[in-house]
Structure 1
């Protein structure tokens, strides 16, 4: 009962913090993306990079800029991991093998942070701080830059120009990510999160004698891994480790960090399109999905069927006793509905329906509120689909925010919606078809003939759902550090990140070329509870039709067994 009340209080405090942040942070991000003024630091950076900050780019040029910085990021991070044993503060760590280095580089550049390694046993401080942490900043800022182009597609008319990628990226980094991270790193340090670049901490008088503990610049990396919805932790235990997440208060702060930008971006959208009601409509749908998932997963963790679990009054395996069930499901819901992937409990230990909820959250496209930028552009594309469906129902050309939704726009929207599920299901099918790769599934989830059980299938489905949606969390029973899994996983993460971006930017370019359409009596009111309900129904219907067959073979089959 005390855990229940503590969980309710934490949810209430979290909602209050997010509500208080919604307007000022949303307005500030809108200012960052629209102001004509450049700071002195930014001007120096533009000059150093050879960038003309006044030059607007077409969607194709903007996309090439995204690809360029991402390709350079993968190459530099891969090289850094391969030579880390020659770097200072390597702590005696050897170089990372080639396929794991490739997987890790792709993971952090795509904002996924899938980790096929234990951080404290694999990476030195330089690799953590100048390799992984830098990509945490950059990949998160890229997502916000891309959603800015889609919003400009609605606000600009008769043009093929959508802004300057290098200006958007620089402003988000310098004006948002860096100051936010510094402030909250200080808060986490004050609350007990470790921050040190010294050698291993030696602990004496333990049961097993002296122990040497890895510390690292934990607090500073903890903030950006959450704020940027990245998720990769310094430690293998991630946010369940007391060095990363020592108290119930830091647990609340960490959940706030991973949600705050995603929930504030609809305000940014509303301000940039000139209608705050549009932002309220979008954020209300996000909040309903988030709250519904939280209630569902908490219920099945507290009331899980089975004699042993019923006697224990909950499914407590894999959960931190410091947090209990409610604070664990709150973290799980928030991290899988964003593209964060950080965990404070072991998702593989959740009940079938609780683990299925985590999977379903990612299958939604992580839009409630989703990753930094990617969540908003995902739900806006679903809003376009909703408007199109409504237009078909009444027999008129659909319009959204003064722009017609023509076959061209719908082709881009359809490609966006279909790309990620296609990659998820194709890679899952390959993994299940290749008998040698099913050995990566924990032996307890293999049948007597070596074929995976429903939970074994769920481990594979969860893995590719997580990688393709750039989440990074996993069911712990899967051993992914093999040549095939590292290579296939890296490809899945890059396809899941960059293919959808192509359709988003192409859609933005198509919208920007249109002339505005005046609102008439027949125009669908998109800033209304009716439209919010239609959007919610479209989201659930699209995901249900796409993933239900796969879910029925995994968590549903296991839960109904």
Structure 2
């Protein structure tokens, strides 16, 4: 039955890819279409209110500056609200302001679409902060990432310009996230997810004791939390909390919410490239990697903990430690894989309590950083690997590589090298540094191999802008708040700016006519080469530290 559940969810996703990808294409192609009748007037009003008289195309530099400056303004606004929340309205529980380093970490976490949480939402934030900062940044960070992805696609597929950031940013809200978030919110409310501004409930237990039950505007946050691949929970327990995710049905809705937009972007890319096979090839590579790592996690969790089995205890139900009974092994494994493949970070079970082999799946997905990915980041990274694969194949046959009719030369490869190398650097270097300092080691709650995995997971989650917590790490202190904050900034902006520069460079080049010697990038052979490129680079970079962590722990347990 577990396998049937997994197949059913994947089948629903496959049915959504084409219609949603087509809608994304028409939303951002800037060609007249039916949706203009619904959203065109609203967008014109927003542009007029913002003083945007001209919406002409931007160079990659102007697009990047517009993207960065918008994010800086949002960071300043969010930081101010969190520091002053104790005196602001909609704070019925009387919660005070956040500590400075925690405020820095929280604002950086949400503007970078990471949503790593070193605080517990129900006790650390007021309702106003949850809505005006957390929910707001969930919308704007997702819209920023989607806008950059669309600009990148325009550049490499031969568009006239990269587009206008502010136009893309507004369209991402009006045509994608706001309508979908409203729909999902209504569905979640109908399925018993709370949506209220009432203060914490005080109830009497069966023993006659008083108990505080936190509530709030949960459903509205949950919708954009998953649609925007954000992942930050209203409660500290995230989607394992029964108010955030009360049933198997809401679990499926939340998985599809965080998965359907990233999965549809390759199809949108194929439409921009005027070759749907290009999009399906990228999607196939993503899905094959996804299924392989999902199979590893599901197998490991279904087999149970070998140390417990060796004690003669029945493990026929699998490893249920840290999992909710209402979800079971299948929906927990699928949720784990989806949330790290889509770089969402929402969790319905504690990854710290998974078997060592099962822990490899979320770690590997964050380290690869391109299996579906967040709003556009996964597509950008997979196309980055596609360009690299074409370049390597061109070197093997002694031919100047071409991708979508543009020659790939030294400038593009230098920028891609920066984007590829920064990711392992900001994971492995801080991990090593944390073990060299008392501040870093003092937060580790488990000795040995598991302790290494705790630290590695924290930085992998930050660098991949995933945000899921391995838990067990005492990370709410100045050292971890500042370290992970810096890693999140570098992981978000360096690669995105580098890839915008690649798109701008390719956009300026004259198209090269296809010949008999042109290496095709729209067939099964290239999909296989692309998967091999991703795995080889990922294995060479991260396999040694995976061996020192989860694999060593598994062998020790056995």
Return the TM-score normalized by structure 2. 0.96
Shift of 1:456: 0.4
Q: Following superposition of structure 1 onto structure 2, how do residues 31-110 of structure 1 map, counting pairs within 5 Å?
A: 31-36=26-31, 39-90=40-91, 91-110=93-112
What secondary structure does 1:553 align onto? Answer: helix
Match for 1:330 among 330, 334, 354? Answer: 334
What secondary structure does 1:56 align onto? Answer: coil
Residue in 2 that maps onto 1:487: 482
Shift of 1:89: 1.6
| Aligned partners of 1:10 and 1:252 also within 8 Å | no
Residue in 2 that maps onto 1:147: 149
Q: Distance between the aligned counterparts of 1:308 and 1:422, measured in 2?
A: 37
Shift of 1:51: 1.8
What secondary structure does 2:210 align onto? Answer: strand
What secondary structure does 1:510 align onto? Answer: helix
| Aligned partners of 2:305 and 2:319 also within 8 Å | no
What secondary structure does 1:554 align onto? Answer: helix
Residue in 2 that maps onto 1:213: 213
Shift of 1:305: 4.7
Residue in 1 that maps onto 2:555: 560
Measured at CA, do residues 206 and 427 of structure 1 come closer, stay the same or move farther in structure 2, by a change above 3 Å?
Answer: farther
Q: How many residues align?
A: 545
Measured at CA, do residues 166 and 304 of structure 1 come closer, stay the same or move farther in structure 2, by a change above 3 Å?
Answer: same
What are the ranges of 5 or more consecutive residues in structure 2 without an aligned counterpart?
none
What are the ranges of 5 or more consecutive residues in structure 1 without an aligned counterpart?
447-452
What secondary structure does 2:476 align onto? Answer: coil
Q: Distance between the aligned counterparts of 2:347 and 2:439, measured in 1?
A: 29
Residue in 2 that maps onto 1:288: 288
What secondary structure does 1:212 align onto? Answer: strand
Q: Distance between the aligned counterparts of 1:254 and 1:206, measured in 2?
A: 33
Measured at CA, do residues 428 and 409 of structure 1 come closer, stay the same or move farther in structure 2, by a change above 3 Å?
Answer: same
Q: Distance between the aligned counterparts of 1:263 and 1:24, measured in 2?
A: 11
Matched, 1:461 2:456: yes
Q: Distance between the aligned counterparts of 1:491 and 1:50, measured in 2?
A: 33
| Aligned partners of 1:81 and 1:95 also within 8 Å | yes
Q: Distance between the aligned counterparts of 1:207 and 1:287, measured in 2?
A: 51
What secondary structure does 2:202 align onto? Answer: strand
Q: Distance between the aligned counterparts of 2:462 and 2:305, measured in 1?
A: 30
| Aligned partners of 2:390 and 2:403 also within 8 Å | yes
Measured at CA, do residues 74 and 207 of structure 1 come closer, stay the same or move farther in structure 2, by a change above 3 Å?
Answer: farther
The one-character-per-residue Cα deviations of 1:119-164 (angstroms, maximum 9, x if unpaired) are: 111111000011100100011111111111111112336x7x4110
Residue in 1 that maps onto 2:498: 503
Q: Distance between the aligned counterparts of 1:52 and 1:534, measured in 2?
A: 46
Shift of 1:306: 2.2
What secondary structure does 1:560 align onto? Answer: helix
| Aligned partners of 1:46 and 1:53 also within 8 Å | no
| Aligned partners of 1:154 and 1:402 also within 8 Å | no
Measured at CA, do residues 134 and 305 of structure 1 come closer, stay the same or move farther in structure 2, by a change above 3 Å?
Answer: closer
| Aligned partners of 1:82 and 1:95 also within 8 Å | yes
Q: Distance between the aligned counterparts of 1:554 and 1:197, measured in 2?
A: 44
| Aligned partners of 1:297 and 1:357 also within 8 Å | yes
Q: Distance between the aligned counterparts of 1:404 and 1:236, measured in 2?
A: 49
Q: Distance between the aligned counterparts of 1:477 and 1:208, measured in 2?
A: 33
Residue in 2 that maps onto 1:126: 128
Shift of 1:13: 2.3
Off by >4 Å, runs of 4+ in structure 1: none
Q: Following superposition of structure 1 onto structure 2, how do residues 258-297 of structure 1 map, counting pairs within 5 Å?
A: 258-297=258-297
Residue in 1 that maps onto 2:407: 404
What secondary structure does 2:5 align onto? Answer: helix
Matched, 1:112 2:107: no
Shift of 1:53: 4.2
What secondary structure does 1:311 align onto? Answer: coil
Measured at CA, do residues 458 and 208 of structure 1 come closer, stay the same or move farther in structure 2, by a change above 3 Å?
Answer: farther
Residue in 2 that maps onto 1:535: 530
| Aligned partners of 1:26 and 1:267 also within 8 Å | yes
What secondary structure does 1:211 align onto? Answer: strand
